[in-house]
Chain A
Amino acid sequence: MVEGSFADATLRVFRGDKQGGTPADYRVPLVPGMVVLDALHSIQSHQAPDLAVRWNCKAGKCGSCSAEVNGRPRLTCKTRMDALPLDQPITIFPMKAFPVIKDLVTDVSWNFRVNQKIPPFQPRPGTEWKMDQRDVNRVQEFRKCIECFLCQDVCHVLRDHGKLEQFGGPRFFVRTASLEMHPLDGASRAQVLKNELGIGLCNITKCCTEVCPEDIHITDNAIIPLKERVVDEFYDPLLMLVRKIRSAKKPRPGGEGHGI
């Protein structure tokens, strides 16, 4: 922490587009409580009016302002300047896992296409719309996701190996978990998890969990239980059924299938 000893800071911001680019240095006067996004806005207003940055809520709620600050994937609206070493330039680069459009703005449209592969919520027939808060808690953890895609950015399967065709990424395991563990959901997404989202490619490095600004325990609470479901469904369908029934608390009405 540096308290008041620096009047300004230097931001080294990537400037460029899909053809390439270089970082440019900007000096920005410091204001108490300033976050990196404030500093970027100050550059926009006074030095580089065409600096491309995404943002909406400025309060960590919308997941728009993701970038790599000093090499770490972060929400720029929640990264305090006074928590960074200010005696050297702060580097701000776009998320590496996605193609650059311009400056800090990347093409994240792939994520929206992955989402379309996941079968939506499907209530069991004859559902009575009652739920216990304890069952809801577990799923609400996953539903906190603000789609900042920082976990996607950090996951080596996407970032280093570029397996965008075979792998859905941690965000969409979280999404699938929120549906699979919904107390009233009746569908099974094991096929999709295995074949379309390639959950087998995840080797549980937990990098995704570390960067999640919503503190979602992506690996422990979403990915590992989903991997178990896939194993159960493909190799032990009976156990799968038992688990689903247990997780739903109330037994599902008989005779209905696992159709996707």
Chain B
Amino acid sequence: MNSNYEVHEHDVLIIGAGGAGLRAAIEALAQGVRVGVVCKSLLGKAHTVMAEGGIAASMANVDTSDDWRAHFRDTMRGGKFLNNWRMAQLHAQEAPERVRELEQWGALFDRTDNGDILQRAFGGHTYKRLCHVGDRTGLEMIRTLQDRGVHLGIDVYMECTITRLLQDGDRIAGAFGYWREQGRFVVFRAKSVIICTGGIGKAWKITSNSWEYTGDGMALAYDAGAELMDMEFVQFHPTGMVWPPGVQGILVTEAVRGEGGVLRNKNGERFMERYDPKKLELSTRDVVARSIYTEVREGRGTEHGGAFLDISHKPADYVKRKLPSMYHQFLELADVDITKGPMEVGPTCHYMMGGIHVDAETAQTSIPGLFAAGEAAVGLHGANRLGGNSLSDLLVFGRRAGLAAADYAKGNALPQIDSSQIEEAAQQMLAPFERPDGDSPYVIHDDLQSVMQSLVGIFRDEPDLRRALSELDALKARAARVRVEGSRLFNPGWHLAWDLRSMLTVAEAVTRSAAARRESRGAHSRIDYPALDDAWGKKHNVVVKKAGTMTLVETPVLEMPDGLKQLLAEDSGTK
């Protein structure tokens, strides 16, 4: 390969420095290979830092009856049995050890009276299962991983965006990207690549996600020929802020409900009594989000179109100690003192259950040498993720991906990269500067968000989804002619112009999959098909690129062994 660009060489290249990417890096490094990690923001600013409520692991420190079986059962039930059973099993079995490991690397969780890691209740979890640090668990986790990784010697490329995977035939050979700072191009050569790029929420208007969540990793993998699966399952978290306008969508952690917070409509009714009388506020997220949405639609919403969430019946110092960042967030951004009065909350686009299809044990995709873990991968959560199951997912499958990618790198030589791939990637990046006219990327992004928000939201139906598909076609055409002003020096408009492509790819995959699934299951609710359909319970939608076009195929849900079926049939015990 001859290249006019800066080139770096690693055995394992990891795209993404959230919990999944960093855990993968630590594991790969432990196998004695050279590891590079690339991320779009500064180190430590990935989404993982924003996680609040906790990590789910059946440590049984508080509820001694908890064990991996109960966690497995809750995860499968929450996911409406579309989960990859093997991933759900590995996750439930390995999560406690992964949490203990964090502690041994210096993380400081809240404690029980016995001095063990404290665990709190969360929606869909039968027992008190979430290990936490007040409401800033993600910060504790990412700092711990980041410091461990850096001291072990990973090379980190911060503020560098990957725009294309490079291949040698089918096999992965590296990645192409640009430094956000100077706009210079850079080529990474690697024997194996792990995608840990997180989710896609920025395609919606109201979201808890940051500018980074544009679905890049899924789009990169899709373009390289990998399969995306379960893309119709987008989690709308029931409680985002709704007022004032600037904070709309910012997350209000489920820990508020875990700590005893109560939901009411404008008439003061505790409406969850009608939707899920048993679990009430701690029902699964899909149920609570739909309930709030329905209350608002039927005219029982608050002034700004939400519901009231109230924790003020708890002692003020308890609230400040257990939910400090919520306390400050509402006081400073919304002028509400949550120890004295209720918050106004409504659903916000939060998490992507779907993603890159991987093998349960190794996290390998269908492309040789390409792996994926974390929110970018699919399998563990099925049709709906339980709170706290993402942070544990990152640790369990981040580690497995790191291990398998290092193994792969040891068994294979560094592949070749022909320079035409690189030249093409560079050309694509430069084209928007050369156009005399065309839309601004901000305008196209705004329009995309409106389409997804209004047509591919919590409740869906055939006419909306059809309309969304034709709107997406028009947006794709506009995005192909997007125009960028200014230079390549730290230019957010230029960055967004590229991210738009990823968002459009995943938005289309979500919409096509949602149109195909004619039933309601977990986070996917069809007004025109409101019930579960057993036939659909046995299959997944898979999205692949065939001859340049997006194609949908169905694939069967993996059959569970009898022992586990037995487990699922058992009652989950008392709460």
Name A residues whose Cβ lies closer than 8 Å to a Cβ of B: 17, 31-35, 38, 44-46, 49-64, 78, 80, 101-103, 105, 107-109, 112, 115-116, 120-121, 123, 129-133, 136, 139-140, 143-144, 146-147, 179, 182, 185
Contacts and interface: CB of A to CB of B under 8 A. Distances in A.
Given A56-B212, A143-B108, A50 B246 contact: no
Contact of A147 (B44, B50, B446): B44
Nearest to B40: A56
A49 B492 contact: yes
A115 B150 contact: yes
B62 to A, nearest CB: 14
Contact of A55 (B104, B114, B211, B486): B211
B49 A57 contact: yes
Contacts of A116: 150-151
B440 interface: yes
Contact of B104 (A63, A80, A123): A123
B246 A33 contact: yes
A32 B244 contact: yes
A53 B211 CA distance: 12
A139 B243 CA distance: 34
B492 A57 contact: no
Contacts of A133: 110-111
A176 to B, nearest CB: 12
A108 B148 CA distance: 20
A200 to B, nearest CB: 25
Contacts of B211: 55-56
Contacts of A44: 442, 492-493
B147 interface: yes
A198 to B, nearest CB: 21
Interface residues of B, number: 66
B495 to A, nearest CB: 10
B181 A101 contact: yes
B244 A121 contact: no
A186 to B, nearest CB: 12
A61 B245 contact: no
Contacts of A140: 108, 133-134
B108 A35 contact: no
B329 interface: yes
B484 A49 contact: yes
Given A38-B246, A56-B46, A121-B147, 19 more contacts: A33-B246, A34-B244, A46-B442, A49-B485, A51-B492, A52-B492, A56-B41, A59-B251, A59-B333, A102-B490, A109-B158, A115-B147, A120-B147, A130-B116, A131-B115, A136-B110, A143-B139, A144-B136, A146-B139
A63 B45 contact: yes
Contacts of A112: 43, 150, 156, 158
B348 to A, nearest CB: 12
B247 A33 contact: yes
Contacts of B181: 101-102, 105, 107
A28 to B, nearest CB: 12
Contacts of A38: 246
Contacts of B243: 33
Nearest to B440: A49
Nearest to A130: B115
B542 to A, nearest CB: 32
Nearest to B483: A49
Contacts of A53: 492
A50 B491 contact: yes
B100 interface: yes
A108 B446 CA distance: 31
27 contacts: A31-B246, A33-B335, A44-B492, A45-B443, A50-B485, A52-B491, A54-B42, A58-B247, A59-B247, A60-B332, A62-B45, A64-B41, A64-B42, A78-B333, A101-B489, A101-B490, A102-B489, A105-B181, A108-B42, A112-B43, A120-B106, A129-B104, A136-B110, A144-B139, A146-B49, A182-B106, A182-B108
A61 B325 contact: yes
A49 B150 contact: no
Contacts of B245: 31-34
B112 to A, nearest CB: 8
Contacts of A54: 41-42
Nearest to A139: B108
Given A44-B442, A101-B181, A56 B116 contact: no
B148 A62 contact: no
Contact of A17 (B44, B140, B210, B489): B489
Contacts of B50: 56-57, 59, 61-62
Nearest to B118: A133
Contact of B487 (A50, A139, A143): A50
Contact of A35 (B151, B328, B333, B335): B333
Contacts of B111: 131-133, 136
B105 interface: yes
A250 B562 CA distance: 49
A62 B50 CA distance: 7
Contacts of B250: 58-59
Interface string B539-550: 000000000000
A71 B123 CA distance: 45
B103 A129 contact: yes
Interface in B29-58: 41-47, 49-50
B115 A179 contact: no
Interface in B317-343: 325, 328-329, 332-335
B266 interface: no
A132 B492 contact: no
Interface in B433-492: 440-443, 446, 484-487, 489-492
Contacts of B45: 56, 62-64
